[in-house]
Amino acid sequence: MNTTKKIQSALISVFSKEGLEPIVRKLHSQNVILYSTGGTEDFIKNLGIPVVPVEDVTSYPSILGGRVKTLHPKVFGGILNRQDNESDVQQMQEFNIPQIDLVIVDLYPFEKTVASGASEADIIEKIDIGGISLIRAAAKNFKDTVIVASVDQYSTLLDLITNQDGATSLADRKLLATKAFHVSSHYDSAIFNYFNTDETVYKASIAEGQVLRYGENPHQKGFYFGDFEAMFNKVHGKELSYNNLLDVDAAVNLIAEFKTDAPTFAILKHNNACGLATRTSISEAYNAALACDPTSAFGGVLISNAKIDVATATEINKLFCEVVIAPEYDAAAIEILQEKKNRIILIQNEVELPNKQVRSCLNGLLIQERNNITDNKEGLTTVTTTTPTTQEIQDLLFASKICKNTKSNTIVFAKNGTLISSGTGQTSRVDALLQAIEKAKTFGFDLNGAVMASDAFFPFPDCVEIAKNAGITAVIQPGGSIKDQLSIDYCNENKLAMVFTGTRHFKH
């Protein structure tokens, strides 16, 4: 059975005319009858090409301010009729319904209208009714009808009709129908999410996906769905991997805590900070961050809250690292960083991150609000007789920001705007604390006068006792244990300052 079909008629009703002219001219050269409405009809006429107004077919004008133009049996019958169905063929003749072989639609820009901050009335008028109906009808009848559902598919159609002399195969039509249902489902999801106020109902649609080299491991397929180019300008380096993207995500979330602070540089490995420092210049911040753990920094992701200059780039160039991220760079700094062929260099743009975080779980999804609370001085409650000094408060808040963005269970040590060490992802808080102490010793850091942050409360006084013996002088934690007083009593007896934030920062 020959499933190849020649296009002999087309209905064109589009919002965007960009890229439409060569299609119209090609269809005209192939003697295709063109039907159209409104602005598209005028566009075709202005090209000097004959076009049949849809109202001549339906005997109805466009009504209700253009809300109803194509919604008519003579239009949808022409699209939905089954050409191998005897009854359909008879009814087409009986009711004088013209055959429509090709439908070209580009929907009203609903998402762009919402993003523009338009009024609700303007947004409602950008909910396409006729267009979405044409798309679904033509896609449903892909055995006989070609559907082009977006300006993004204009070039695909032009290639088809040019290379195949106006003919399409069943495979061609089915592929275009698949793309059409993608367009219609994405469009409907956007409209639903505009109206939806029920947080127990979740719909998401991302129009474009990216195939990654592989997933977390080489034997796993990996894909990224999102607008990476909106967040970053990639100026150099290889394609980002699945693991690169996870580390970049962690880096972006971490540096956001220091967005308005003095020059701050962070180095991450496996989603956790292995170095972070705040200084008066970005080069000083980088060198201090690297000194935190130069071993873990190898192959890490680097991120800055300030412009990377030549001095900083020169130092970075001595380190093997996967990714460098900054809001801007000196031109000469980029040239230096580009000396490593595979090093990924990203310029971070100002983009608001989604407020909902989504991850797969069992046979479904877990969704939560983003942790948007950053501990601040006003939210601290001193619970001990010893009050932290001004410097200690600064370091406590500095440590808390890192702790919030580190895998639980976690303990973070900081001193003079520098991450000294951390214990990350441990099964007990004591293990995390001991890991942090050992790591500080390994790299020769003096913990005397350092501060400690914990992502959750201490159920027993053992952690503050171990910390005190290591040289820690101040502690920040959320509080909330029924045995908080045990830790408070120990701190009071040993002149250790402790503040409660009232906010837990688990990160699993």
Residue-wise burial string across 288-305, b where 16 or more C-beta atoms lie within 10 A, e elsewhere: bbbbbbeebbeebbbbbb
Q: Is 51 exposed, middle or buried (0-12, 13-18, 19+ CB in 10 A)?
A: buried
Axis-axis angle for helices 429-442, 462-470 (nearest 10): 10
The DSSP annotation for 266-303 comes to EEEETTEEEEEEE-SSHHHHHHHHHHH-HHHHTTEEEE
Is residue 181 within 8 Å of residue 207, measured between CB atoms? no
Q: Specify the length of the chain in residues.
A: 508
Is residue 342 within 8 Å of residue 320, measured between CB atoms? no
CA distance 170 to 168: 7
CA distance 244 to 240: 6
Is residue 133 within 8 Å of residue 76, measured between CB atoms? yes
Report how far Cα 479 is from the mean position of its chain's Cα atoms: 34
Task: Please indicate whether residue 140 is annotated as part of the active site.
Answer: yes
Q: Could you say which of 26, 182, 186, 270 is catalytic?
A: 270
Rg (CA), the chain: 31
Q: Could you say which of 17, 26, 140, 340 is catalytic?
A: 140
| Ramachandran angles phi, psi of 135, nearest 5° | -60, -50
CA distance 57 to 75: 8
CA distance 468 to 449: 10
**Six token digits for residue 119:** 């009024």
- 64, containing H or E segment: none
Residues annotated as catalytic (active site), given as ranges: 140, 270
